[in-house]
Structures are given as C-alpha cells and as structure tokens.
Amino acid sequence: MIKRAAVAAGAAALLTAAGAQAANPLFPKLFTADPSAYVDNGTVYLYVGHDEAASKGRDYLMKEWRVYSSCDMKNWTDRGSPLQASTFKWAKGQAWAADVTKRDGKYYFYSTVDHATIPGFAIGVAVSDSPTGPFVDARGSALVTNDMTRQTAITWDDIDPAIFQDDDGQAYLYWGNTVLKYAKLKPNMTELDGPIQTVGMDMFTEASYLHKHNGTYYLSYSRNFPEETAYMTGPSATGPWQYRGTIMSKNAKVKTIHQAIIDFNGKSYIFYHNAKLPGGGEYRRSVAVEEFAYNADGTIPFIKQTAEGPAANPSPACK
Ligand code: FUB
C-alpha cells in the first residue's frame, strides 16, 4: 500500500496541473551540463557537456559534448556526440562548456578543454558543415591558453567561451572565470583580432553569455558561488554595461548553474542546469529550460525553475 502511494506521488510529480508530462530536466538518460543553444533554419540546436562522473565522483568527468535538436522546445531529438575533448589533439581531456555560431555556411564550436602541455584550461575552436557535426579542430592548436592571460593565478580562468556575431559581422569571444575577458575575432573565426580585454565587475564567477534582443545587448553570467544567474545590459557588444540583477536563484544540490538565452519562434527561453535528475549532484547535472517574456522596459524578469518547462512552440520553419 505504501509502495503504491509512493508510485502514485511520483507519477503526480511528473504531471503539470494541465496534465502534460514534465519536461525538466530535458534528458532523463544522461547527466548533462553547460547548455549552449543555436537557432538555425527554424530549429533549435542544444549543445551540452556530458557529466560521466560516478555517483561518488569527486570531480568532473567530461569526455564529450552532445547535441539535441527541437522544432518546438518540447520534443528533443538526440543527435549524438558532435565532437569529443579528444578531437583537440593538443588537449588532455575535460569537455567543459562550449558555444556555437554559424558563419559563411560553416558552424564554429568554441569549447573549453584542459591543455596537455601548457598548464591550465584552454579554448579551442572546431568547425563543421553541419550543426550536428562531426566537428574537426579548426586550428590544430588552442585559440586561448592560460599563459595568454595574467589577471589571476588560477589555472581555470580561461574557460566557458561565449561567441557572439554582431549585425556588422564583427565576432566577439567572451570567456573567463573570476575575471571576465573578451576579444574580437578575425573574419576567419579562428584567430583573435587584437588584444584581450577585461570587463571590470563584482562577483563574476563564470558562464558569460552575450545575446541581443530588440537592439539591446545582454551579457548574462554566473555570479557568486554557489552560483546564481545575473545579467547586465549595454548599448554595444562591448558595453558599457549596467548591472541589472539576478534572474535565477542558485541551485540546491549543485553549485553551478550555467545559462544560455535565445529567442526561438517568437518566444524567449533560458537554458540552465541543476541536479534534479535522480542520482544527480555536483558532477552529475541535468539541463533544463524555461520560457520567459522580457518586461516592457527590456529587462528580464526573475525566472523560476519548473518541472513543466515551456509549452510546445512548433516552428513552421523547422524541417
Ligand atoms: O562543466 C564544467 C564547468 O562547470 C563549466 O565550465 C562551468 O561553467 C561550470 O558549469
């Protein structure tokens, strides 16, 4: 009897008031983290890291990235692993956070990996003819290494690349842990163009993400530790930035949260990770998504994590 009641309660927890099946976390079969999303031809491509740590693991074990696609933000198709940390021969592992963009018909995948010979984490760039890969190393060497930045003594300050292309075609790479850095990219997307700059700000942790909505630039990031998601706005891709506050509270069982924000088929969405998949924890995370609407003044409202996730939003352009 007790068992039956527990099963019923579990099933109820998977249902929304409207009777729809719970959507979050999005992928029940794998532990996933560090979402990054790219919309192409009416389709959302969602890139995540794969947390493979054992239940008692005491560090990240991340060998590959995974990609999923959706035509409606509700139903997701597993497109496999578009590349692995081992794609970068100069790296010794750790498929940490990544971000993707498209230029001149090619897809560029910027990613964090641990460098094999230059101590510390580094950023690589891979390229593909398809958003689902396979991606190959575009340079044969790292784009950013730990010895190129001297603002902190830590070895993990060159992580979490965020790629943004402005309307004039100029591409910017933001990244960092503890100190937020950025640089312009050359049109070939595989070389920095000019010096590495920093953004002076309080309590920046990691996971910077730059997007543009209705003419305003939004620089979101993980703040504090355990992390909450915060953001700034500005009139250009390089600021000046105005702090706008927190949009998502810290997680209960995991200290990181790592967001990505997109517009898709007329609506706005934030991806993030928590540890709500059964067996989840610090190194066994799970990606989720929420829909939100910008306030009339362009600010982002505070967004609650839900089990239901967004309503289906079928994209007519999706093939
Ligand atoms: O997944 C490894 C690291 O944890 C990421 O690079 C950070 O953003 C944090 O989520």
Q: Which atom of ligand 1 is nearest to the CA of 273?
A: 10
Q: Side by side, which strands form the sheet with 260-264?
A: 260-264, 267-274, 286-292
In 3D space, the residue among 270, 206, 217, 224 whose CA is nearest the CA of residue 242 turns out to be 217
Q: Which two tokens stand for residue 62?
A: 């991340």
Q: How far is CA 292 from the centre of its chain?
A: 17
| Residue range 49-82, pLDDT digits in tens | 999 999 999 999 999 999 999 999 999 999 999 9
Residue 155 CA, ligand 1 centroid: distance in Å: 14
Average pLDDT over residues 15-30: 71
Of the chain, the percentage scoring pLDDT greater than 70 comes to: 93
Residue 243 CA, ligand 1 centroid: distance in Å: 22
Residue 6 CA, ligand 1 centroid: distance in Å: 34
pLDDT score recorded for residue 319: 79
pLDDT score recorded for residue 106: 98
Q: How confident is the model at residue 1 (pLDDT cuts 50, 70, 90)?
A: very low
| CA-nearest residue, atom 2 of ligand 1 | 96
| Residue range 117-142, pLDDT digits in tens | 999 999 999 999 999 999 999 999 99
- Helix, strand or coil, per DSSP, at residue 198: strand
Q: Which two tokens stand for residue 91?
A: 């790296």
Average pLDDT over residues 99-118: 98
pLDDT of 20 > 60? The answer is: no
Q: Which atom of ligand 1 is nearest to the CA of 222?
A: 8
pLDDT score recorded for residue 248: 98
pLDDT score recorded for residue 3: 38
List of domains in the chain = 5-292 (2.115.10.20)
Q: How confident is the model at residue 2 (pLDDT cuts 50, 70, 90)?
A: very low
Q: How confident is the model at residue 21 (pLDDT cuts 50, 70, 90)?
A: low
pLDDT score recorded for residue 5: 36
